[in-house]
Amino acid sequence: MANTKPTTPATTPVTLIGLGPMGQAMADAFLKAGYDLTVWNRTRSKADALAERGAHVAASPAEALRAGGPVLLSLTEHAAMYSVLEGAEADLDGRTVVNLGSDTPAASREAAAWAGRHGARYLTGGVMSPAPGIGDPSMSTYYSGDRAAFEENRALLEVLTSTDFRGEDPGLAQVYYQIQLDLFWTTMTGFLHALAVARAEGIPVETITPYIIEGNDMAGFFETTAAVVAEGRFPGDEDRLAMGTASMEHVVQATRDAGVDTALPEAVLAVFRRGIDAGFGESAFARLITLMDKKA
Ligand code: NDP
């Protein structure tokens, strides 16, 4: 039977393993909220400032696991979890592990099964916030995995960001998270590329940026494209892939003329040309999704 005695932050233990920029921000949030924080990090010196502020610094990962509360991991990837907890598996029994690091959905499912074999409950967390946003409830984190473990630790997790429990599949939070990063990194790389072309053409970054923001209602484009994809019909009455392909050819050539690296627009053009080769020239651009999604 779980201990349901009401606790206050000061008497609520929480362990945090991993003190990169994200772990540091999380430790800061727990200390500010008055939690009884235990930390461990491979590079011990990163815990020094936290120790001065009252955090316990465990001498080993096993000691960190034994501190009593949920064990939050903020590590580069899941391989680091195995490497840190190797040899401390016996101390996982009865613990709740919340892995807030990035990896693949399959790696998260495997990690949950591994933790389960050692008697631990497991939650995956996909943190949708940069480190400075930790502690801000307008930021959110996707969670999935053990529902009871989530509910019991919800208040504690909400010290970091708001929470959004997506379901009991431990891979699911990672699916949501990786989809967001897929879009984030491809979009942001496109943005950097646009800035590079602007700068090469003598337009300062400060001048072009408001034009880029104003000229691209991405949320609106996402909504209209999603509606087309959901319907699954791609008539080329508003836009045709043949037009998009000609447009991307102009982008590649303009990039080349500006003396800027063409790798990114050429990669996009290659996808468009596959659509043309598949006979989609007279269809809407959105039909390209049928080349990406093998189930379609
Ligand atoms: P870092 O990669 O800078 O640091 C992560 C931590 O992992 C450090 O404590 C590092 O230890 C530890 N680590 C890495 N490999 C090993 C290993 N083999 N053995 C032991 N410890 C290891 O990442 P962040 O702090 O920036 O991020 C942590 C996680 O949060 C990542 O998965 C990231 O994708 C995710 N995230 C980060 C965001 C950000 O803005 N920073 C935003 C959203 C999510 P040591 O100090 O000894 O090197």
36-77 pLDDT, tens digit per residue, is: 999 999 999 999 999 999 999 999 999 999 998 999 999 999
**Helix/strand/coil (H/E/C) assignment for every residue in the chain:** CCCCCCCCHHHCEEEEECCCHHHHHHHHHHHHCCCEEEEECCCHHHHHHHHHCCCEECCCHHHHHCCCCCEEECCCCHHHHHHHHCCCHHHHCCCEEEECCCCCHHHHHHHHHHHHHCCCEEEEEEEECCHHHCCCCCCEEEEEECHHHHHHHHHHHCCCCEEEEEECCCCHHHHHHHHHHHHHHHHHHHHHHHHHHHHHCCCCHHHHHHHHHHHCCHHHHHHHHHHHHHHCCCECCCCCHHHHHHHHHHHHHHHHHCCCCCHHHHHHHHHHHHHHHCCCCCECHHHHHHHHCCCC
Instruction: Report how far ligand 1's centroid is from the alpha carbon of 36 (Å).
Output: 22
pLDDT at 2 over 60: no
Statement to judge: residues 129 and 28 lie in one domain: yes
> Which of left, alpha, beta for 202 (phi over 0: left; psi -120 to 50: alpha)?
left
Q: Whose CA is nearest to atom 30 of ligand 1?
A: 101
25 lines ligand 1 (CB under 6 A): no
Among 75, 129, 182, residue to substitute to test ligand 1 (most atoms within 8 Å of Cβ):
75
Whether 21 and 143 map to the same domain: the answer is yes
Q: Which atom of ligand 1 is nearest to the CA of 75?
A: 7
207 and 93 belong to one structural domain: no
Give the domain extent around 232: 176-292
Q: Give the number of residues written for the chain.
A: 296
In a domain, 2, yes or no: no
Domain end position, chosen among 168, 189, 219: 168
Do 195 and 147 share a structural domain? Answer: no
pLDDT tens digits, 91-150: 999 999 999 999 999 999 999 999 999 999 999 999 999 999 999 999 999 999 999 999
* 3: in domain: no
| Residue that finishes a domain, picked among 144, 168, 192 | 168
**One domain for residues 104 and 145:** yes
Q: Judge if 200 and 233 occupy the same domain.
A: yes
pLDDT per position as a tens digit, 190-242? 999 999 999 999 999 999 999 999 998 999 999 999 999 999 999 988 899 99
* Whether pLDDT at 7 is above 80: no
Q: How far is the CA of 183 from the centre of ligand 1 (A)?
A: 21
Q: Which of 42, 83, 98, 99 to mutate to test the pocket of ligand 1 (most atoms within 8 A of CB)?
A: 42
Report residue 181 as tokens. Answer: 């990063």
**Do residues 27 and 136 both lie within one domain?**
yes
* Domain termination site, one of 168, 189, 208: 168
Please check whether residue 1 lies inside any domain of the structure: no
> Are 32 and 159 part of one and the same domain?
yes
Is residue 37 in contact with ligand 1, taking CB distance under 6 Å? Answer: no
